[in-house]
């Protein structure tokens, strides 16, 4: 099929009307759940249930066939049994439907008979110019259209697009990422990728103004060369983070029975990621941490990090995590050391980087140090324990100073053009006004030193990949500072 991918997929992500073929009043069935999700998700377009056995479904008039609907239909959500899908698709072609989300299972993932059925479905759709999500998928989510075919309740909106080859596991990952406060522009359960592939979604998202970072859960690529070519262009403007299953022989067998995918050589795939600059993670939730960090923060000039914390253990563990990822921790120059030392408590260690405030709980100390470090041309990014209010404090002056310190802290990325990662303990973060300020300023917040380091690594690694893709000169380390962790 030829044509403009944006126009084709806009019919799926911005449909003016949807027919739910296989809709049901029974919410325990896929046909009932899919319609219910759209109703509860706030979709404002026209919705038409299709089921020859019902007159009214979930408060909406039902139709015997998509051909009986009086209006034009942009998108269909199909939940009928697999053997019925080709005939349904023929009706959709006659109707002039532009896109289909085929949730029904029982295709290539089941064996040769299912593959023949899937091939027939694709043949009909392509001859009729219908783009197909799935089959064997869980649905989609499109924030701008308030369209949820996959979740109830719907996710929160945000800058991350997530394409998952697994439906159930993809849904779990969305919940896990949502619990961390991350927001999404799109979600696609890609299923068997019989028609639309990971490459198609990537090409579409490259032009999507709502999406600032793209995350994939992949089990296999059936068009690896095309994915590589598209990713090489996308990386110039947007980061791509992914988790790929199927690295072991047992996992490869599982992917074949799950979505009918061939996992391929992991060594070749990893080399492709490195060459393009894709941020590859080896734990399934980590790509979301990476995407969250890089989608909001300025891209730094290099990979040189300063660390500020209120305890030696956090300083050591964060420094080690950064070093293991190839980030550099330059020693602070002597004049800046003296300036910072004069502000620290008497028993605090000499501030060389990392900088240990020795449990100094004065509201403004970390923010002040962070600003001093942001002014240094040999510091590209800052990881710091964020200003925070204790859960129970009634000293109004303390509160005022903490809020002022937080305002200074969150202004650093915009003021100095350098990324900031905040460490905020989860037990203190929940419901805390300062944490809310940090979140609304789009400063990434992570619980652990490893997560903080990974977030900064993602920002700096993407900056390096972007400069390479655009043919720009990478920033060389200064010769007059020592880099102990190179």
Q: CATH number of the domain that 107 lies in?
A: 3.40.50.720
237 found inside a domain? yes
Question: Nearest-CA neighbor of 358 among 367, 366, 343, 348?
Answer: 348
- Give the pLDDT of residue 3: 64
Phi, psi angles (nearest 5°) of residue 156 = -80, 150
Q: Are residues 341 and 307 in the same domain?
A: yes
Q: 359 vs 187, which has greater pLDDT? A: 187
271 and 160 in a single domain? The answer is yes
- Give yes or no: residues 354 and 387 share one domain: yes
Confidence of residue 476 (pLDDT cuts 50, 70, 90): very low
Q: What are phi and psi of 293, to 5 degrees?
A: -65, -45
What is the mean predicted confidence (pLDDT) over 239-251? 79
Same domain, 406 and 273: no
Domain boundary among 275, 296, 317: 296
Domain of 328 in residue numbering reads as: 298-470
Query: For the ranges 13-27, 177-191, 245-259, 451-465, which has the lowest average pLDDT?
Result: 245-259
304 and 292 in a single domain? The answer is no
The verdict on 303 and 450 lying in the same domain is: yes
Alpha helices in 346-448, H assignment, sequence order: 365-374, 396-416, 426-429, 433-440
Total domains present in the chain: 3
Integer Cα distance of 450 and 458 in angstroms? 12
- Residue 225: half-sphere exposure toward Cβ, Cα within 13 Å: 0
Q: Up-side HSE of residue 22: CA atoms within 13 Å toward CB?
A: 22
Q: Which band of pLDDT confidence, cut at 50, 70 and 90, is reported for residue 264?
A: low
**Within this chain, do residues 124 and 259 fall inside the same structural domain, yes or no?**
no
Residues near 411 by Cβ (< 8 Å), separated by ≥ 6? Answer: 441
Query: What pLDDT shows up at residue 425?
Result: 65
Torsion of CA 181, 182, 183, 186, to 10 degrees: -140
Confidence at residue 391, expressed as pLDDT on a 0 to 100 scale: 56
- Mean pLDDT of all residues in 339-363: 94
Q: Is residue 321 part of a domain?
A: yes
**Mode of pairing for the β-strands spanning 147-148 and 60-61:** unpaired
78 and 172 share a domain? no
Mean per-residue pLDDT, 109-125: 97
Q: Are 416 and 380 in contact (CB under 8 A)?
A: no
| Same domain (yes/no): 237, 287 | yes
Of 296, 311, 331, which marks where a domain is finished?
Answer: 296
Centre a 10 Å sphere on the Cβ of residue 472 and count the other Cβ atoms it contains.
11
Same domain, 59 and 189: no
Residue 480, pLDDT above cutoff 70: no
Q: How confident is the model at residue 470 (pLDDT cuts 50, 70, 90)?
A: very high
Confidence grade of residue 486 (pLDDT, cut at 50, 70, 90): very low
* Res. 434 pLDDT band, cuts 50 70 90: confident
Mean pLDDT of 62-90: 98
| Residue 161 and residue 212 in one domain | yes
Tell which of 271, 296, 321 closes a domain. Answer: 296
Using the predicted structure, report yes or no on whether residue 475 has a pLDDT greater than 90. no
At 13-65, the pLDDT tens digits run: 999 999 999 999 999 999 999 999 999 999 999 999 999 999 999 999 999 99
CATH code of residue 215: 3.40.50.261
In the predicted structure, residue 458 carries a pLDDT above the cut 90 = yes
Based on the fold, state whether residues 455 and 317 are members of the same structural domain: yes
Confidence of residue 220 (pLDDT cuts 50, 70, 90): confident
The SS3 assignment for 356 reads: strand
Q: Which pLDDT value is given to residue 319? A: 97
Class of residue 18 by CB neighbours under 10 A (exposed 0-12, middle 13-18, buried 19+): buried
Q: pLDDT of 278-299, one tens digit each?
A: 999 999 999 999 999 999 999 9
Tokens read off for 402: 């903490």
Query: What percent of the chain has a predicted confidence (pLDDT) above 90?
Result: 82
């Amino acid at each position: 099929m030829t044509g403009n991918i944006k126009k084709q997929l806009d019919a799926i992500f911005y449909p003016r009307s949807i027919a739910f073929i296989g809709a049901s009043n029974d919410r325990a069935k896929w046909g009932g759940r899919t319609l219910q999700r759209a109703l509860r998700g706030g979709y404002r377009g026209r919705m038409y249930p299709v089921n020859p056995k019902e007159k009214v479904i979930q408060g909406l008039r039902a139709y015997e066939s998509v051909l009986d609907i009086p209006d034009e239909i942009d998108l269909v959500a199909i939940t009928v049994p697999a053997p019925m899908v080709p005939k349904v698709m023929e009706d959709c072609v006659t109707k002039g439907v532009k896109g289909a989300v085929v949730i029904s299972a029982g295709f290539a993932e089941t064996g040769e008979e299912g593959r023949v059925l899937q091939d027939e479905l694709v043949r009909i759709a392509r001859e009729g110019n219908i783009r197909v999500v799935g089959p064997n998928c869980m649905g989609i989510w499109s924030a701008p259209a308030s369209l949820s075919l996959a979740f109830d309740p719907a996710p929160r909106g945000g800058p991350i697009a997530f394409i998952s080859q697994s439906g159930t596991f993809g849904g779990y990952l969305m919940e896990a990422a949502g619990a961390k406060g991350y927001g999404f522009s799109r979600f696609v359960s890609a299923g068997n990728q019989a028609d639309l592939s990971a490459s198609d979604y990537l090409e579409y998202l490259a032009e999507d103004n709502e999406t600032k970072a793209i995350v994939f859960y992949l089990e296999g690529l059936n068009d690896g060369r095309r994915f590589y070519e598209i990713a090489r262009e996308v990386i110039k403007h947007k980061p791509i983070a992914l988790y790929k299953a199927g690295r072991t022989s047992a996992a490869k067998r599982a992917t074949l029975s799950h979505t009918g995918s061939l996992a391929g050589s992991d060594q070749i795939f990893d080399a492709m990621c490195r060459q393009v600059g894709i941020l590859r993670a080896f734990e399934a939730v980590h790509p979301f941490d990476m995407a969250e960090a890089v989608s909001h923060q300025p891209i730094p000039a290099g990979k040189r990090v300063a660390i500020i914390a209120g305890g030696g253990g956090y300083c050591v563990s964060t420094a080690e995590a950064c070093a293991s990822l190839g980030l550099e921790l330059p020693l602070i120059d002597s004049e800046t050391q003296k300036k910072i030392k004069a502000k620290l408590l008497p028993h605090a260690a000499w501030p060389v980087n990392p900088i240990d405030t020795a449990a100094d709980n004065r509201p403004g100390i970390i923010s002040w140090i962070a600003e001093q470090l942001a002014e240094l041309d040999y510091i590209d990014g800052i990881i710091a324990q964020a200003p925070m209010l204790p859960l129970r404090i009634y000293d109004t002056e303390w509160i005022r100073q903490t809020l002022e310190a937080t305002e200074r802290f969150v202004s650093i990325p915009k003021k100095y053009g350098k990324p900031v990662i905040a460490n905020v303990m989860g037990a203190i973060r929940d419901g805390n006004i300062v944490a809310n300020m940090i979140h609304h300023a789009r400063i990434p917040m992570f619980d652990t030193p490893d997560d903080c380091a990974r977030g900064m690594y993602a920002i700096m690694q993407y900056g390096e990949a972007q400069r390479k893709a655009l043919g720009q000169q990478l920033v060389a380390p200064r010769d007059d500072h020592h880099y102990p962790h190179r």
